[in-house]
Structure 1
Amino acid sequence: MVAFGKKLKETQIEEWQGYYINYKILKKKVNQYSRQIENGSGDHLLVLKDFSFMLDNQLEKIVLFMLEQQGLLAKRLSALREQQDTAFQQGTILDVSEVREAYRAVGQDLLRLLFFVEMNAIGLRKILKKFDKRLGYGFTNYYVKTRANHPYSQLQQIFKHVGFGAVVGAISRNLADLQDNEGSYVSIYDQPILHLQDPVVTSIRAAVDRLTNSTNFLNFMGKHAMIMQEDLPSPSQDDVGDQAFDLMSLLLNLMNTFLYMVNTYIIVPTADSYSLSLGAAATVCGAVIGSMAVAQMFSSVYLSAWSNKSYKKPLVFSSVLLLVGNVLYALAYDLDSISVLLIGRVFCGLGSARAVNRRYISDCVPPKLRMKASAGFVTASALGMACGPALACLFQAKFKLFKLTFNDDTLPGWFMALAWLVYLLCLCISFKEPPQPECNIVPQESNRDTKGNRTHNAMENGLEQPLLKSSEEKQQDDDDEEGQDFDQCDEDSDESHKPATSIVAAYRLLTPSVKAQLLIYFMLKYAMEILLAESSVITGYYFMWSTQYVALFLACLGLTVLPVNVLVGNYISNMFEERQVLLASEIIVCIGIVLSFKVGIPYTVPQYVISAVLTFVSAEVLEGVNLSLLSRVMSSRLARGTYNGGLLSTEAGTLARVVADGPRRRLWGHIAAQSALRLQYIRAQLEENLRAASRNFGLCLTE
């Protein structure tokens, strides 16, 4: 992968060279400050003041040039508007065609300007991070907050792309007016769905989307999926991705995600009754649910490794295992074997392809569609979580067919077996294996014949990292002889950008902040699994709820996922910092857990429902914000390869489910059994004492 300093030098527009951020000088300054601090000759306050002054000057230079170029574009658009009116009045097709091409030329120049702003924004982010890393300061947060929140902020001119919206709107509207009917086309403001899909307009909108630093629902949901973006994608990535991308394959990949989540939660309402019917204790349902999670820990690794060579084969293998596992789960009733039941769930866990689903989106979906595909992954998971219990609520029939029993315990297994069989057939017929070299190998920057080609391709692809991202990136200072020893310590070689090749290498890339985020993810998944897996046992013991009530309750909880993410992605994350939302969510989760305890007073349905809703909803908010932060602080080396960030988050969540469903269940069952024995002993003693008292009382009356 090419270092940023070299990429900036190669892709900058020649006539604008003097207006780019002077990344080389700023790096020299950082090295100089570092030497001064180490030697004890530098003053911290003076260093901060001097570096802030340099950055302010760089920002002012960039912003003033950007505004000047925007003014030139606006002037050209105004002149084109007059030419367009004249062409419409004369009705000459040739004139209309010339005006259309002139608008497209303005669009190309706007793309150049957007790329200019984007490269400067990335340079600013990288130099701030380098300053913090070399000097150990929290300068980035201070600088961004003080500059971004100022009423005359020049920083916001860059990161909120002020003024570009009007130019983009003018180009889009006028190109739409010039389409086909020479001005008779309905305005894009009246029919926004029918607006012109001109290639220039599409490229501009993609560039604006990459440049924006504001949070919206799509970005929030995409980060929720923990599908990371590469820091410096190659210029040919979009073109290659478009050629290799197949929509049906993506839909089948998302369908695998949906069906697996349905498969996970469809048995939750009936797991305790199924265990009882096979002669086991109700608490064994924890082992039934948890066995799938135990197997998933291993399947995530080997299927992710298999996807280095193929995507279709792991998905087919996964579907076969899930088909067999569900058949065994359903047959356990007629075989009267709890072992067959557990083996069936283990097979289902071994068929977990969520790591492959994430990796397919990360590696084989074009960058411009990747965020939408990531949001689709989260949506499919949420719908599967809600549909699983809802389907269990519908399976209330009881009959026999070919000596096989079909009832509310076995029907979930038979239904999922049929669903996986249909999916397997569709997968074999419609899934197209993507070309492996383009999808799995991180492409290197190829040489370009001309700098113009490099600039055009880079404008089309750009970079989409936020200012405050703090992944383990390093850069190389080209032509920087002074401070070369420092550069060798903190600049990335091509080798350092390669994906992690082992779980140990991936673990070494985890910084303390990443470990903290993974721990939070583990704890929230632990809390959610306890809530969901225990629902049938608790509601049956305290409230005598039937399977239908439990399934309906869990389905309602699952349906809250999407509305909550819409609320957080569109509103809450724009009003509060993510760390504030993170802390508030953790507090509410704790409150929900505390409310779930039975202390002194009788345990009531409102208490349980309120505690469950608080815990589940706040945990969902916590999960989204946590994974959003995690995608920012995780190393870019974990964006691809077998041991990627998605696999690590999957393993953390699966481990939480294992811990929640395994030893805790056995401990609770042991405590419950001991408590029952004590109660029986106390009851027997009381009855014996009552009988003895009755005999004594009878003797007293006789006397």
Structure 2
Amino acid sequence: MKDGCIRQKVETITNSRVGKRMFDMFVNTIVLCLSFYINYKLMKKKVNQYARQIEVSEHNREYVLKDFSRVLDSQIEKTVLFLLEQEGRLASRLSVLGEQHDALVQHDAAAMIPELQESYRVVGEELLKLLHFVELNAIGLRKILKKFDKRFGYKFTNHYVKTRASHPYSQLKQVFKHVGISAVVGTLSRHLADLKDHQGTYISIYDQPALSLLDPTIESIKAAVDRLSNTTDFLQYIGKHALIPEEEPTTTADNDVDERYHFMSLLLNLVNTFLYMVNTYIIVPTADSYSLSLGAAATTCGAVIGSMAVAQVFSSVYFSAWSNKSYLKPLIFSSIVLFIGNTLYALAYDLNSIHVLFIGRVFCGLGSARAVNRRYISDCVPIKMRMKASAGFVSASALGMACGPALAALFQTDRTIFWITLNENTLPGWVMALAWLVYLLWLCISFREPCNDNKLNPPTRRETSNGLENGALENSVSELLIEKQNDGHNDEDNEDDDEEFNNNEEAEESHQPVTSIVSAYKLLTPSVKVQLLIYFMLKYAMEVLLAESSVITSYYFIWSSGKVASFLACLGLTVLPVNVLVGSYLSNVFEERQVLLAAEIMVCIGIIFSFQVIIPYSVPQYVCSALLTFVAAEVLEGVNLSLLSRVMSSRLKRGTYNGGLLSTEAGTLARVVADGAITLAGYGGMNKLLNATLLPSLLICISSIVATCYTYNSLY
């Protein structure tokens, strides 16, 4: 393929999806060192050849694994040797500049500082190109492994990663972990910081004061390094919980989003998120006593709590679709429905009707607008603020989860105003009804509906890449940028060999959002399915723990509703500290898949420790097991969603049926099943309730651990 043809085809891709700056960087790198990229076309051709061989004889499978491993080793070695050569070249240039730097400092030649700074930035731009070179090859490797597994039953990735990733001489680590580049980044950062020191505005990459700024060149390099190695800080880590795409900026798209952004509207979305989580958990401490007061069994609390989740299964879908056209209207509808739902929930006591109680909670579930909240951040918040907004979304949820039971603990009164009873059972409904009424008025006054010009066709704006891995480059790069020159001629036979395989992948290569739940399901690889199973498991375990807490503690320890509420509030307050620990430390010291498996095991231990056995059930046993289960589940949720955002198809990162909706549906379904299990187990007697609800949780947890081990190496 000629350089001119490459430039023309790359320009077509980058002008529409990546932008002019990325185009210049990629073209220069591609044209100069094209032969050092992995030969994606060769490896895809090999996959087709192996398919024919295995069809002839099953004995060829071992040969296929060994031969393709050899091909991959050769391709990776070529890339790594070039990478090391370029690292040495950059290190040599930095060494020369360092001598000039020392001489400048000794002679106090301030006039030469700008020139030396520019020289360092030129090296920085070269380093940035090298990082993109590494990233493109990493994308190509992930893609060819995924294609091989898809063709042959998900066997090769496990074999290859297991034998290469942990080897002391692993070249695979050089591609995915860029071991030597970090030292170059540190040297470059230190010298630029030293030159900027007299201005007092820029700092080294080693320093992290909140109000200081990195040199723009170093900031770009650091972002590329973090993206390639999945390094996170607390803000990035907790922001990933929202499963909101973090896209590379393009001039046109960024300008469109800037015009749509309105701070008060964002704040109203976050308040909606907070209030809804308060609404969900404020009734948990008193749901059993409310059920008893209406003549139902205490374990009916499971059905009362779960009825909200049942309705949320459906509301998540129509709110996600509605947010394609508007944000204000679904938020208004949500507030009205929640006001009605909470009013009915509170009136059920004076009407003495368990049916009104259920209807009220169903209305509350129908008002779940979390899909709108998530979509507003994705569509209308500028890229530079999106991670903070995503972290705000997750923090608002965590804070609401803690504040709900805490507020319930304050409602220790019993009085009647006119014919309305105000007590610990009804006050959660009245307080939330008032809160939603105030919110509705604030919403109508302050929310600004974004302009609708680009709203009807969001994919054009969303097709920018997520760190080059999602969107255009995930598939187009594999066909164009990573393809080696083919000795100056086209092989018609090779194209025929690839034709069938390419046709089968047309749907996968498309970047249009999926349009149905069936299409979304077809894009779920085993890794994604396992992550969704894990999410189901952890939500099930947490819902059993929280929803039956008032019944269990009342039966075994005679706790009051206020004491239960305080306990649940303390559990909720652990969410943010746990995420600080994981996001700032654990996820950077250990691989996320290691943390994932360890957290699953800890959840399993917590569940096992929760069972009532021969000895009397004690408060220390309950509190310790509940704390272990809850904290481990919180750790698990963070790494699970982070991994899910990486392994799922780019087509599931936008549109109505996105990854956020799928995870929400999985979690909501888990809550429905858990709350239903609590109600059903109550018919067997209170003495059997605890073990009867924990047993399914334990079985699901063990199943998820086994499934994680099965797909462990595909999470590399």
TM-score, normalized by the shorter chain, greater than 0.5: yes
1:612 is matched with 626
Give the Cα separation in 2 of the matches to 1:487 and 1:377: 42
Deviation, 1:527, is 2.9
Q: Specify the alignment match of 1:648 in structure 2.
A: 662
SS in 2 for 1:13: helix
Quick check: 1:388 aligned with 2:393? no
Report the Cα offset of residue 38 of structure 1. Answer: 2.8
Moved more, 657-666 or 220-229: 220-229
Tell me which of 193, 198, 213 is aligned to 1:196: 213
> Within 1, Cα distance between the matches of 2:585 and 2:201?
38
* Distance in 2 (alpha carbons) for counterparts of 1:186 and 1:298: 50
Quick one: structure 1 residues 304 and 182, their matched pair in 2 at CA, closer, same or farther if it must change by over 3 Å? Answer: closer
| Cα distance change of structure 1 residues 661 and 124 upon mapping to structure 2, 3 Å threshold | closer
- Structure-1 residue corresponding to 2:332: 316
CA shift at 1:481, angstroms?
A: 1.9
Distance 1:235 1:39 in 2: 53
Relative to structure 1, is the Cα distance of residues 414 and 508 closer, same or farther in structure 2, using a 3 angstrom cutoff?
A: same
Looking at structure 1, the residues matched to 660 and 201 of structure 2 have their Cα atoms a distance apart, in angstroms, of 49
Pick from 360, 363, 377: which aligns with 2:376? 360
Q: Distance in 2 between matches of 1:527 and 1:183?
A: 51
1:486 correspondence with 2:500: yes
Aligned partner of 1:108 among 125, 141, 148: 125
Alignment of 1:248-327 (within 5 A): 248-327=264-343
Residue 673 (structure 2) aligned to one of 649, 656, 659: 659
Q: How far apart in 1 are the matches of 2:563 and 2:69?
A: 61
Which residue in the other structure is 1:463 paired with? Answer: 468
**For the residues of structure 2 that align with 1:521 and 1:246, how far apart are their CA atoms?**
33
TM-score (norm 2): 0.79
CA 1:583–1:209: 2 relative to 1, 3 Å: closer
Distance 1:635 1:72, change over 3 A: closer
Q: Which deviates the most, 527-536 or 160-169?
A: 160-169
Q: State the partner residue of 2:519.
A: 505
Q: How does 1:4-83 map to 2 (within 5 A)?
A: 11=27, 12-40=29-57, 43-83=60-100
Q: Does 2:100 align with 1:95?
A: no
1:143-162 equivalent positions in 2, closer than 5 A: 143-162=160-179
2:576 to 552, 562, 566: 562
Q: Distance in 2 between matches of 1:596 and 1:21?
A: 51
Pair 1:533–1:316, CA change in 2 (3 A): same
Query: In structure 2, what is the equivalent of residue 636 of structure 1?
Result: 650
1:631-673: CA deviation from partner (whole Å, max 9, x where unpaired): 4443332221111222122122222222332464156258579
Note if 1:210 corresponds to 2:215: no
What is the CA–CA distance in structure 2 between the aligned matches of 1:206 and 1:580, rounded to whole Å?
24
Give the AA of the match of 2:404: G
Deviation at 1:87, TM superposition (A): 5.7
Q: How many residues align?
A: 657
Q: 1:541 to 1:264 in 2, by over 3 A?
A: same
- Which residue identity lines up with residue 576 of structure 2 in the other structure? L
Instruction: Describe the SS at the equivalent of 1:500.
Output: coil
Q: 1:37: how far off?
A: 3.0
Q: Deviations over 1:466-492 (max 9, x none)?
A: xxxxx9999658876252323334433
Say which SS state the counterpart of residue 213 (structure 2) adopts: coil
**Percent identity between the two aligned chains:** 68
Amino acid in structure 1 at the alignment position of 2:68: F
Change (3 A) 1:366 1:212: farther
Is the Cα contact below 8 Å between 1:500 and 1:641 reproduced in 2? Answer: yes
Of 596-605 and 529-538, deviating more is 596-605
Q: Deviations over 1:295-342 (max 9, x none)?
A: 211211111110111223322322232233223333444444444433
In the alignment, the residues of structure 1 paired with residue 204 and residue 578 of structure 2 have an alpha-carbon distance, to the nearest angstrom, of 35
Give, in angstroms, the shift of residue 380 of structure 1.
Answer: 2.7
CA distance in 2, matches of 1:567, 1:411: 36
Q: Answer with 198-207 or 258-267: which moved more.
A: 198-207
Question: Contact between 2:299 and 2:678, CA under 8 Å: does it hold in 1?
Answer: no
Q: Please state if 1:140 is matched with 2:122.
A: no
User: 1:50-109 deviations in whole A, cap 9, x for unaligned?
Assistant: 333332332233223223333333343344445556666777775333333333333222
* 437-446 vs 650-659, which moves further: 437-446
Structure 1, unpaired ranges of 5+: 447-456, 466-470, 676-703
State the Cα deviation string for residues 363-404 of structure 1 (Å, max 9, x = none). Answer: 445566555544443333222222211121122244555664
Greater mean alpha carbon deviation, residues 593-602 or residues 290-299? 593-602
Kept in 1: contact 2:202–2:213 (CA 8 A): no
Match of 2:393, as an amino acid?
F
Aligned residue for 2:674, secondary structure, equals helix
Contact 2:462 2:654 in 1 (8 A): no
| Deviates most, 411-420 or 371-380 | 371-380
- In structure 2, the CA distance between the partners of 1:646 and 1:99, relative to structure 1 (3 Å rule), is same
Confirm or deny: 8 A CA contact 1:308 1:642 kept in the other structure.
yes
2:539 to 525, 528, 531: 525
How far apart in 2 are the matches of 1:483 and 1:44? 20
Q: CA deviation at 1:582?
A: 5.1
Contact 1:88/1:96 (CA < 8 Å) preserved in 2?
Answer: no
Question: Structure 2 stretches of 5 or more lacking a match?
Answer: 1-7, 15-22, 484-489, 690-716
Tell me the distance in 1 between the aligned counterparts of 2:165 and 2:96: 35
Of residues 655-664 and 296-305 in structure 1, the stretch that sits farther from structure 2 once superposed is 655-664
CA contact 1:121–1:158 (8 Å) conserved in 2: yes
What is the SS of the residue equivalent to 1:481? helix
- Please name the residue that 2:134 is paired with: 117
Mapped to 2, the partners of 1:16 and 1:438 lie a distance apart of: 38
Q: Does the Cα contact within 8 Å between 1:36 and 1:42 map onto a contact in 2?
A: no
Distance 1:571 1:89 in 2: 40
Whole-Å separation in 1 of the counterparts to 2:255 and 2:104:
36
2:709 alignment partner in structure 1: none
Q: In the aligned structure 1, how far is the partner of 2:523 from the partner of 2:412?
A: 50
Q: Which residue matches 2:692?
A: none
Measure, in 1, the Cα distance between the counterparts of 2:115 and 2:208.
25
- Partner Cα distance (2:656, 2:271) in 1: 22
Is the 8 Å Cα contact of residues 290 and 425 (structure 2) preserved in structure 1?
yes
| Cα distance in structure 1, aligned partners of 2:323 and 2:384 | 23
1:544-623 to 2 correspondences below 5 Å: 544-569=558-583, 585-586=599-600, 588-623=602-637
SS at match of 1:406: strand
Distance 1:400 1:151 in 2: 74
Q: How far off is 1:549 after superposition?
A: 0.7
- 8 Å CA contact 2:555–2:686 kept in 1: the answer is no
TM-superposed deviation, 1:27 = 2.1
Contact 1:175–1:196, Cα closer than 8 Å, also in 2 = no
Q: How does 1:532-543 map to 2 (within 5 A)?
A: 532-543=546-557
